[in-house]
Amino acid sequence: MPEIIDFILSRRSVRQFTSEAVDDETLTFLLKAAMSAPTACNSQPWEFVVVTQKEVLDQIRAKLLFARYNAPAAIVVCGNVSIANNSAARDHWVQDCSAATENMLIAAAGMGLGAVWIGVYPYPSKIKPLSEVLGIPDNATPLSMVYVGHPAETKGPRTQYDEHRVHWQYYEPRKRRSKIKNAKYIP
């Protein structure tokens, strides 16, 4: 199996970190990986806010109840269609910034770092406080935040491959057992 697949399968959400700092060179490498993501018509509608100051991280944790992990660094991925290379970003900035986020997560796994994706968009109750703490202007929308650090927990590689979610050649509706209790199959 190619090495990149090993990194993809080993990418797990890490929520416990050591206190060891992540150096600027490593964070820059993660940003390079993020900016290597595909974008619609090469629009590149992203901007990033890198946070390593403990005081600012503490402010984020105080404002966002769902994001109270002890990582020594965070990278906020913002979509800004006003700086994009073309108008495709208006319709695709979410996908473009999501691809950038995933590239960062895979790169972090490949470097032996821990990371967790914190969803921000489309919730105003998450966007507003994060924007206030970091001074993000109205024309930039935080899509996600990635906490990064040296992992204090170890999780083994895994796949969540489910053959019942794969259709070959054509989509064929079929009943399958749902993981959600009392969920109903909708053809």
Closest by CA position to 64, among listed 135, 132, 149? 132
**What pLDDT is attached to residue 6?**
82
Q: Looking at 8-17, 29-38, 79-88, 169-178, which range is the least confident one?
A: 169-178
Q: Which CATH class is domain 3-158?
A: alpha beta
**What pLDDT is attached to residue 187?**
39
Name the percent of the chain lying above pLDDT 90. Answer: 80
**What pLDDT is attached to residue 144?**
98
pLDDT at 7 over 90: no
**What pLDDT is attached to residue 176?**
57
- Taking only the tens place, the pLDDT of each residue in 62-102 is 999 999 999 999 999 999 999 999 999 999 999 999 999 99
- Taking only the tens place, the pLDDT of each residue in 97-147 is 999 999 999 999 999 999 999 999 999 999 999 999 999 999 999 999 999
**What pLDDT is attached to residue 4?**
76
Per the DSSP assignment, residues forming a β-bridge with 116 are 147
**What pLDDT is attached to residue 155?**
87
Domain locations along the chain: 3-158
Give 7's contacts (C-beta < 8 A, 6+ positions apart).
Answer: 106, 109, 110
pLDDT band for 9, please (50, 70, 90 cuts): confident
What is the DSSP-derived secondary structure letter of residue 22? P
Start-end of H helices in 3-47 = 3-10, 24-34
**What pLDDT is attached to residue 54?**
98
- Taking only the tens place, the pLDDT of each residue in 147-182 is 999 999 888 888 899 998 999 999 988 765 555 555
pLDDT band for 186, please (50, 70, 90 cuts): very low
